[in-house]
C-alpha cells in the first residue's frame, strides 16, 4: 500500500498575472499535481476564477489538474470544469455545498474524471463513510476553506489517522490529501498520520526558489518511513 508522496502546489498563491508561467515553473520544480481552488463567493466568501481560467491553466500544465470545488451546487458546474480540463473533481461533503453527495460523486465518474470528496475541519468522518468506495481521493481540510495563508490545525491529525484506518478496514486505498497551512514543518506529522498528497500554496509560491520549497516538503514527508 505504500506509494510515493505527491506534492500539489495550489495556484491560489501564484501570481495571477503570469499564471501560465507560474504553472510551468512549479512543474519544473517537481509538482506532481496542480491544485486548483474554485471559490464561488457563496460556499466561501472569496471568488477565485471559473472554467475559462482552468482552461488556460490546462494549456500550460502537463501534470493532472486537481480541482477543488468550494462552491454551492457543484452539480451545476461539473461538466464545465470537466470540459475545461479538470482531471480530478473534488466536491465538499457538507450539505451547504451539495445535498446529494453520492449522486455528484457518481456524476464525476460518469464524466470520466477522478472523483474526490473534501471534508472541512468540523465535518466528521461519518459524513463520508458511505461514499468512500466512490472516490479516488479524500481531501482533509487542515484549515477552514476560503483563504490561502492560514495556520495548520493540528487537531486534524487524529482525523487523518482515523480516515486511514477506516480505509484500511474497508480494503480501500484512496489518496488522502491534506490542504491548508502545509509547509516543511507540518508535513512530517500529516504523513505520519496517513496523508500521501500535500497541497501547499504559500509555502511554495511564497518562496523565491520553488524547487527548493517542493524538495524540502518532499524530504520532510518522505523521512516518515510510511512512504
Ligand atoms: C484554502 C484552499 C487551499 C489554499 C491553501 O481554502 O483550499 O488550497 O490554497 O493555501 P495555503 O497552502 O497557503 O494554506
Ligand atoms: Zn484547496
Query: Does pLDDT of 97 surpass 70?
Result: yes
Q: Is there an atom of ligand 1 within 6 Å of 206 CB?
A: no
Contacts for 120 with CB less than 8 Å, ≥ 6 apart: 92, 93, 94, 141, 144, 145
In degrees and rounded to multiples of 5, residue 49 shows phi and psi of -160, 175
Query: Residue 3 — pLDDT band, cuts 50, 70, 90?
Result: confident
Provide mean pLDDT across the span 109-115: 98
Encode pLDDT of 172-183 as tens digits.
999 999 999 999
Query: Does pLDDT of 192 surpass 50?
Result: yes
Hey, which CATH number is domain 6-222, 3.30.460.10, 3.40.47.10, 3.20.20.70, 3.30.413.10? 3.20.20.70
Count of residues for the chain? 227
Cα 45 to chain centroid distance, Å, stands at 19
Ligand 1 midpoint to CA 90 (Å)? 14
Query: Does pLDDT of 126 surpass 50?
Result: yes
pTM: 0.97
pLDDT, residue 224, reads 63
pLDDT, residue 1, reads 46
C-alpha cell recorded at residue 10: 495550489
Provide mean pLDDT across the span 151-157: 98
DSSP 77: T
pLDDT, residue 223, reads 78
* Domain residue ranges in the chain: 6-222
Residue 187 near residue 222 (C-beta atoms within 8 A):
no
Active site residue 196: no
Query: Does pLDDT of 24 surpass 70?
Result: yes
State the closest ligand 1 atom to the C-alpha of 182, by its place in the atom list counted from 1: 12
Mean pLDDT score across all residues of the chain:
97
Q: Looking at 32, 179, 183, 196, which residue is catalytic?
A: 179
Provide mean pLDDT across the span 29-44: 98
Provide mean pLDDT across the span 186-200: 98
% pLDDT > 70, the chain: 97
Amino acid at each position: 500500500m505504500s506509494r510515493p508522496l505527491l506534492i500539489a502546489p495550489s495556484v491560489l498563491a501564484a501570481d495571477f498575472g503570469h499564471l501560465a508561467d507560474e504553472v510551468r515553473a512549479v512543474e519544473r520544480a517537481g509538482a506532481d499535481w496542480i491544485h486548483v481552488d474554485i471559490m464561488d463567493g457563496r460556499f466561501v466568501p472569496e471568488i477565485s476564477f471559473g472554467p475559462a481560467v482552468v482552461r488556460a491553466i490546462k494549456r500550460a500544465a502537463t501534470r493532472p489538474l486537481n480541482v477543488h470545488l468550494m462552491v454551492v451546487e457543484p452539480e451545476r458546474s461539473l461538466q464545465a470544469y470537466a470540459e475545461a480540463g479538470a482531471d480530478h473533481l473534488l466536491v465538499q461533503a457538507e450539505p451547504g455545498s451539495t445535498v446529494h453527495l453520492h449522486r455528484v460523486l457518481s456524476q464525476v465518474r460518469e464524466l470520466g474524471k477522478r472523483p474526490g470528496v473534501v471534508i472541512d475541519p468540523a465535518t466528521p468522518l461519518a459524513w463520508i463513510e458511505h461514499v468512500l468506495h466512490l472516490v479516488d481521493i479524500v481531501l482533509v481540510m487542515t484549515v477552514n476553506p476560503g483563504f490561502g495563508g492560514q495556520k495548520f490545525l493540528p487537531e486534524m491529525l487524529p482525523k487523518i489517522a482515523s480516515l486511514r484506518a477506516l480505509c484500511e478496514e474497508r480494503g480501500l486505498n484512496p489518496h488522502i490529501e491534506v490542504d491548508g497551512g502545509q509547509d516543511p514543518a507540518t508535513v512530517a506529522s500529516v504523513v505520519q498520520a496517513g496523508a500521501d498528497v500535500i497541497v501547499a500554496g504559500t509555502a511554495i509560491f511564497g518562496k523565491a526558489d520553488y524547487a527548493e520549497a517542493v524538495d524540502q516538503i518532499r524530504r520532510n514527508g518522505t523521512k516518515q518511513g510510511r512512504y
